[in-house]
Amino acid sequence: MSPKGMLAPEAVSIVTNFEIASSVALLPPRNDSFFYPLYAKAKINMKIYGLLGKNIHHSLSPVMHNAAFKALGISAEYKIFDINEEKLGGFFEKLKKGEIFGCNVTMPYKEKALNFVDAASVATKTIGALNTVTREEDELKGYNTDYQGFIKALLGFGEGDLNFKAEGKDAFIFGAGGAAKAIIYGLLTMGAKKIVIADIDNKKAEALAGYVIGKKKWNSLITVAQDEKQYNEFISKSDLLVNATPCGMKEDDPGLFDYSYIHEGLYVFDLIYTVETPLIKGAKGRSAKCINGLNMLLYQAARSFEYWTNLEAPLEVMRKALPGSVR
């Protein structure tokens, strides 16, 4: 679904709310008989969106989405919904009733959330995980914008992207979790020749390889690297290396592999965006092209915003809203 010229029903109601919101939403609550009813009405009409997950108070999603709503004059607020698993049913009830207009989903609920939506895009079903939920004609629909964000940042859509064409190329992926699934799906749709998966837990990597192979007949070869010797062997012949693990976030994290195997022709994509990881430092030190996960984060957020509003996301506003420390 791309932003449309004609406004969808939701966008029409946004415009209606805008009349109230634009005049009063920025005013502080005042115990004033003239202003207070207007303020209260704007609050009632304010649409709630948010991020569902666990231990997510550090998330950068609220600053990006709230800046986008403000820039387009939409009376909406993006909140954090940090909830326990037993409350998932109640949360999705609120979405279904329209008390919450749409949400992102993150760890650890990206896979479980599929059980609570009425429908999901083909890509989302193939990946087996969603990160965006919309309400469409009283039905909840799941999308995966992580893979879309990854593809954009990989292919080269804007400032600082990697400019890597995956068709006919070999890729090595560290991690066999939710993010790896989305990335592998993206690489397969782009026609990668070979994808090697490595995880601290070999069984997990093998299960993911089996899952991907079983989902559809792909033209790519999908295999698993079992140990460090194989990591180094495969990496020295790969065109692209992706870190889809949290390894590298903490100062005392062990190295993923022997970084001397990074060659000049290797493109390196680290999904981590909070710090400059040893992997990114290792790539820079060997003149390999590299990118962190920030543009992927930005593009996935922009795509989610477009699914909810049917309006083009103000990408540069969202980018600028990110704290300078990560930009």
Segment contacting ligand NAP by CB under 6 A, of 24-32, 113-121, 269-277, 316-324: 269-277
Are residues 47 and 14 in contact, defined by beta-carbon separation less than 8 angstroms? yes
User: Judged by CB under 6 A, does residue 296 bind ligand NAP?
Assistant: yes
- C-alpha span between 147 and 154 (Å, rounded): 10
User: Judged by CB under 6 A, does residue 278 bind ligand NAP?
Assistant: no
User: Judged by CB under 6 A, does residue 275 bind ligand NAP?
Assistant: no
Closer by beta carbon to ligand NAP, 91 or else 174: 174
Are residues 182 and 150 in contact, defined by beta-carbon separation less than 8 angstroms? yes
Residue 162 DSSP label:
-
Q: Contacts with ligand NAP in 231-250 (CB under 6 A)?
A: 244-247
- Phi, psi (5° rounding) for residue 83? -130, 155
User: Judged by CB under 6 A, does residue 315 bind ligand NAP?
Assistant: no
Q: Is 237 a catalytic residue?
A: no
- C-alpha span between 143 and 150 (Å, rounded): 14
Sign, CA torsion 258/261/262/268: negative
Are residues 278 and 255 in contact, defined by beta-carbon separation less than 8 angstroms? yes
Reduce the DSSP state of residue 81 to 3 states and report it: strand
Size of the site for ligand NAP (CB under 6 A): 27
Q: Contacts with ligand NAP in 177-206 (CB under 6 A)?
A: 177-180, 198-201, 204
Q: Contacts with ligand NAP in 57-76 (CB under 6 A)?
A: none
User: Judged by CB under 6 A, does residue 256 bind ligand NAP?
Assistant: yes
Which residues contact ligand NAP (rule: CB under 6 A)?
107, 146, 149, 174-180, 198-201, 204, 244-247, 256, 271-273, 293, 296-297, 300
